[in-house]
Structure 1
Amino acid sequence: MQVTHRNPRGISGHVMVAVLVLTGGLFMFTSLQRQLIYFPEVAPEAVLLDAAGRVGMLPWRSGKDELIGWRSHPAGKGARRLVVFHGNAGYALHRQYFAAGFLAQGDGWEVYLFEYPGYGARPGEPSEAGIKAAAADALAELLAGDPAPLYLVGESLGSGVASYLAGRFRQQIGGVLLVTPFTSLADVAGEHYGMLPVRALLSERFDSVAALGRYSGPVAFLIAGDDEIVPARLGRSLYDSYQGPKWQFEQPGAGHNSLDFDPGASWWREVTAFWRAH
């Protein structure tokens, strides 16, 4: 019988390489995690104002006259106000399809597209704490001007923002739509960086399960069946965990960025009907 003798020094070398690779990965993830989460696109305010005008949107300014997003034209007395929180890439005006979809339903909507700090023409750097604080300020200002309930839409990363706001302003939120949502950002990170202890390292949490646990109103879930960024099972798990009135629609074969947002798609009407029923 032939005996093969392994070189202990060779084994140690492989282990050392693995340790160095893992250590490097840990350092990169810890120091660059926000760059791995947020992909803002910036543009001068004048450029965005021109683009907004071409799609029928107006600037949304705070009480301090700061540009904090975009809004549809006023719909008059009794209008229902809806605020959209976008995903981690691009900027708010890229989500004008949400305004088009809800306005096409003819239910008297006023749609607001909220912009994150560090995105579009808005100064600052994106972070979970900064986005949540800015979004809460915007909602508080809207409610101070008119206490009628607000409706929230959160897309991808924005689903974490909308979930947080639903829990914080729970008595003043009439309904929520979560598009390609997740249970927590840590769970999403675990899907992409499973070899690293991301739950211990991640500073940005966006825990939607915990946030929605503080809300009891109607929540609609729109899930992409073949989502390659936020696996569909995370959206389904969030749906299963929610204890309030809920409605789920899954688009088979849709990827993270290929959902059907055509204003004529039936799900728009189904979402608004679900909200009205509750």
Structure 2
Amino acid sequence: MCPAGGWDGSTGMRACNSRVLAVLMPGAGICLGLLMVLAACQRNLIYYPVREDLSHLLRQAQSQGAEPWYDRRGALIGWTLRGEGRPTAEGRGRHLVVFHGNAGHALDRTYYAEALFSLAGSPWQTVSLFEYPGYGARDGQPGEKQILAAADAAVGELVANGEERIFLLGESLGGGVAAALAGRYPKRIAGLILITPFTRLADVGRVHFPYLPVRWLLRERYDTVAALRGYHGPVAVLLAGRDEIVPARLGRELYQAYEGPKRRWVQARATHNGLDLSPGAGFWNQATDFLLGHAQP
């Protein structure tokens, strides 16, 4: 009970308000402090880079049949693997660039090249594994702005080297990167493979932090839906039916929102990191046929 005051109870009400504020203010301060810490440290919750010495990665690359991919200034972009794919009618090879997820580093993903090169009569001649700033042996710090700027520069390098039409594969977070490039360069990107993609990073955050104002706190956007509005080429989407990191419903929503040529595959029992991406998986042959059947020359 609040104490009674003057004829209108004002003195008692002021005393009551003071006591309520005295109780609420520390709690509000703690909550605000927690939100500020989460806002400041959010990149540590998004990016999980594995750093490696370049000499170690060069030895690993050699053992896996990969070679370093450098820019014109000699800075590392990522890694390249070469197959024996058949050229296009114009005599050009088909080149696919992989943008990996938020953990590990690019050289962990050589299995994508193995799967594509193993196809009967494989059309793929080159698979490049793009490395994010702050991952592997690449300098810098990971962040959406930094990653997209580096990816943009990588496309520029490929174009400068005569690559006219490039295919992109984006895995999880990498789907946001691939979609951003497709939206920026719709005439350069011949097709996309998106593996466990999401609509927007904020939508993923809301799944894992449902009681926090994620949209207000999150500085990293990766708005895949918005990025693909500027793209009209073929998009192949692979979802994990039991995805515990990026719920499959977000991939379905992205798929429904995209208005260009598209095809979807679902591995119903797979978790986020449990998809069958082995060379024998039927997805690779079907996705390749779909992309090449709809890609503009």
The alignment's TM-score, normalised by the length of structure 2, stands at: 0.87
Mapped to 2, the partners of 1:241 and 1:199 lie a distance apart of 20
Q: Report what 1:155 is aligned to.
A: 171
| Structure 1 partner of 2:96 | 82
CA–CA distance in 2 between the matches of 1:123 and 1:97? 24
The Cα shift of 1:12 comes to 7.6
**Aligned: 1:92 with 2:106:** yes
User: In terms of mean alpha carbon deviation, does 73-82 or 168-177 score higher?
Assistant: 73-82
Task: Give 1:55 deviation, angstroms.
Answer: 1.0
TM-score when normalising by structure 1: 0.93
Which among 59, 64, 68 is matched to residue 50 of structure 1? 59
Partner of 1:116: 132
Q: Which amino acid aligns with 1:144?
A: A
State the shift of 1:194 in Å: 1.6
Residue 139 (structure 1) shift: 0.6
Corresponding residue pairs, total = 273
Q: Deviations over 1:220-275 (max 9, x none)?
A: 11111111111110000000000000010011111111110111100000100001
Name the structure 2 match of 1:65. 74
Q: Distance in 2 between matches of 1:101 and 1:16?
A: 58
CA shift for structure 1 position 10: 11
Please report how far the alpha carbon of residue 16 of structure 1 lies from its aligned counterpart in structure 2 after TM superposition: 5.6
Indicate yes or no: 2:189 matched with 1:173. yes
2:287 alignment partner in structure 1 = 271
**What amino acid is the match of 1:109?**
Q
2:36 aligns to what? 27
Could you give the per-residue CA deviations for residues 160-203 of structure 1, whole angstroms, max 9, x where no partner exists? 00000000110011100011100011111111112111101111
1:241 aligns with 2:257: yes
Partner of 2:248: 232
Q: Give, in whole Å, the separation in 1 of the partners of 2:20 and 2:114.
A: 61
CA contact under 8 A between 2:83 and 2:124: conserved in structure 1? no
| 5+ long unaligned stretches in structure 1 | none
CA distance in 2, matches of 1:20, 1:154: 41
Name the Cα RMSD after superposition.
2.0
The higher radius of gyration belongs to 2
The one-letter code of the counterpart of 2:197 is P
SS in 1 for 2:41: helix
Q: Following the alignment from structure 2 to structure 1, what is the Cα–Cα distance between the partners of residues 22 and 247?
A: 37
Q: What is the one-letter code of the residue matched to 1:81?
A: H
Q: 1:99 to 1:74 in 2, by over 3 A?
A: closer
Q: Percent identity?
A: 48
Which residues of structure 2 form unaligned runs of 5+? 2-15
Shift of 1:24: 3.4
Return the letter of the residue paired with 1:23: L
Question: Against the structure 1 CA distance between its residues 194 and 14, is the aligned structure 2 distance closer, same or farther, given a 3 Å change threshold?
Answer: farther
Partners of 1:222 and 1:17 in 2: how far apart?
A: 47
- Residue 15 of structure 1 deviates from its aligned partner by 5.2
Q: Which digits, 9 at most, give the CA deviation of each residue in 1:22-79, with x for residues without a partner?
A: 3233112111011111111000001001111111111111111111100013657521
Residue 185 (structure 1) aligned with residue 194 (structure 2): no
* Equivalent residue letter for 1:63: R
